[in-house]
Structure 1
Amino acid sequence: MAGHSKWANIQHRKGRQDKLRSKLFSKLAKDIAIASKMGGPDPDMNPRLRLAVSNAKGQSMPKDNIQRAIDKGAGGEGDDYEEVRYEGFGPGGIGFIVEASTDNRNRAAMEVRTAFSKNGGALGETGSVAFMFDQVGKIEYPLEITDEDGMMEAAIEAGADDVETDEASDDQWDEYEPVHTIWTQRDDLGSVAAELEKKFGEAKSVNLVWKGQNEIDNPEHAAAVVRLTDALEDCDDVSTVFHNFDMTDEALATLEEDE
């Protein structure tokens, strides 16, 4: 909960949000095209496409962009892309899972390996890190949708596992929009998201994510973890980066001292 909010704020303060948003739209379009190619262009008949479209809408992706991506997939584009997962270790033994969609596996692997090696980490073998994470569903709604109790009640009724609610901030420099985060089992994500949409409308985001089973509390490595995360996110084929670093108040303070 707190770590999620703090990590988002770090990205804002470092001036990366516009770049990340542009890359997010590119990733969402790629996800939609691949889903449309694999299962057809009708979201009602294609659960993967329905999830991809719902997530794109939650991120305010324009409807025209969404439709273009669907049409590209239905027209045969997206054939050359494959989804790849990389695992590695950052400073202090922090585990990283990196998801990519690429039409050139060798290029993607080289970029990811270089990002690790230049920032105090090392690319590992498949399975070297994943055992420290669980793949789970994650749904986000803005705070104004309902209060914490209301979201908890609705989420549990829908079959979710847990709800975490960020604290609203009155800091005028805090650009991050606090959210309710709903956690689900991997296979329950679609059904829980559908039930919550009936009650609250479209979510801000709906994703399968890798969640660390035990986060590592090692504040002195905070800056190095941020640098490695930034470098990995800057790789053209990388779509999402996950790690099991605990962004505690102490860790955050070390970053603020470096600014």
Structure 2
Amino acid sequence: MGRGPSIAGRKNAEDARRGKIFTKLIREITIAARTGADPASNGRLRVAIDKAKAVSMPSDTIERALKRASGADAADMHELRYEGYGPAGVALIIDCMTDNQQRTVADVRSALTKHGGNLGTSGSVAFQFKHLGEIVFATPDSASEEKVLEIALEAGADDVQADNGQSTVLCAPESYEAVKKALVDAKLEPVRADIVWRPENRVAVSGEAEETLLDLLDRLEDLDDVQEVYHNAALSEA
């Protein structure tokens, strides 16, 4: 009779996933710190450090990433944004950080092509997204929804959308930190918080196209040079 993955095997897989997340966040901190290693005066760096702390990255690891900002490895890193389409015409924005641009574009193009997609030109899909601060809270009842709504709007948020037991606070990137601080100061703990590319409208995807898209997203996120992948697909609950 077959057996499922061992506890050790699951732990190794979890450690590998955690290591990959840490690597991406360390890179983000290092790049952000190139314009100033003091989070008090560098908003992008504050956001990167907050994301690292949210996944329990040790303080000494964050400090090492900050120190790397003045090193040659940070100077060699480049930020790239690719736009393209996946299966069923799903629009994709793929943010990368790399020390080898030829390798990165080849890897991204290969992943898209193998899943029925294609790489587009700059601006070919970005118009379908908005750059926004997005802060998500668990709101299991109307009282918690009202609390998030009231505090967020008073702090300068543009919109609050409640659905399926969650409230999503949306704001301009320049308002993100003030809005988040107001909510956290009110003892509200976000499920996730970041500045993202949020689609204006979503494309319904199901069946084989959805499976292919999910495989593509996994493949892209597994690439070492890929930091974030945004898409406009409406995926099934499953």
The bucket for the TM-score relative to the shorter chain is: 0.7 to 0.9
Alignment of 1:32-111 (within 5 A): 32-39=29-36, 41-74=37-70, 77-111=73-107
User: 1:8-54 CA distances to partner (integer Å, 9 max, x unpaired)?
Assistant: xxxxxxxx876543322111111111122222x22112222112112
Deviation at 1:102, TM superposition (A): 0.7
Match of 2:185 among 193, 198, 217: 198
Alpha-carbon distance in 1 for matches of 2:149, 2:17: 30
Identity of aligned residues (%): 39
* Residue matched to 1:28: 25
CA RMSD of aligned residues (A): 2.5
Q: Pick from 212, 228, 231 the counterpart of residue 224 of structure 1.
A: 212
Q: In the alignment, which residue of structure 2 is the partner of 1:158? A: 155
Secondary structure of the structure 2 residue equivalent to 1:200: coil
1:163 and 1:63 map into 2 onto residues whose CA distance is 33
Cα distance in 1, alignment partners of residues 14 and 82 from structure 2? 24
Question: For residues 143-164 of structure 1, what are the alpha-carbon distances to aligned partners after superposition, in whole Å with 9 as ceiling and x for unaligned?
Answer: 59x8222112111111112334
Q: 1:110 to 1:76 in 2, by over 3 A?
A: closer
Match for residue 144 of structure 2?
147
Q: 1:117 to 1:222 in 2, by over 3 A?
A: same
| SS of residue in 1 equivalent to 2:79 | strand
Matched to 1:194, the amino acid is: K
CA distance in 2: counterparts of 1:113 and 1:181, whole angstroms = 32
After superposition, the C-alpha distances for 1:55-97 in whole angstroms (9 at most, x for unaligned) are 2112222222112211222456511111110011111111111
- Paired with 2:14 and 2:115, the residues of 1 have a C-alpha distance of 21
Aligned equivalents of 1:18 and 1:183: distance in 2?
Answer: 32
Structure 2 residue aligned with 1:240: 228
Amino acid at match of 1:31: E
Indicate the residue corresponding to 2:111 in structure 1: 115
Structure 2 Cα separation of the partners of residues 36 and 209 of structure 1 = 19
1:197–1:77 distance in 2 versus 1, CA, 3 Å:
farther
Which runs of no fewer than 5 residues in structure 1 stay unpaired? Answer: 1-15, 169-178, 253-259
Give the distance between the partners of 1:165 and 1:205, measured in 2 at CA: 15
Closer, same or farther: CA 76–154 of 1 in aligned 2, 3 Å: farther
| 3-state secondary structure, aligned to 1:126 | coil
* Whole-angstrom distance in 2 between the partners of 1:127 and 1:152: 33
Choose between structure 1 and 2 for higher RCO, CA contacts under 8 A separated by at least 6 residues.
1
Aligned to 1:185: 172
Deviation at 1:120, TM superposition (A): 1.2
Q: CA deviation at 1:197?
A: 3.0
- Tell me, in whole angstroms, the C-alpha distance in 2 between the residues paired with 1:53 and 1:205: 14
Q: TM-score, normalised by structure 1?
A: 0.77
Going from structure 1 to structure 2, the CA distance change for 1:20 and 1:128 (only over 3 Å counts) comes to farther
Aligned equivalents of 2:70, 2:148: Cα separation in 1: 37
Structure 1's 24 and 188: CA in aligned 2 closer, same or farther, altered over 3 A?
same
Rg bigger for which structure?
2
- Decide which moves more: 187-196 or 30-39: 187-196
Q: 1:95 to 1:20 in 2, by over 3 A?
A: farther
TM-score w.r.t. the length of structure 2 is 0.84
Partner of 1:225: helix, strand, or coil?
helix
Contact 1:51–1:206 under 8 Å retained in 2: no
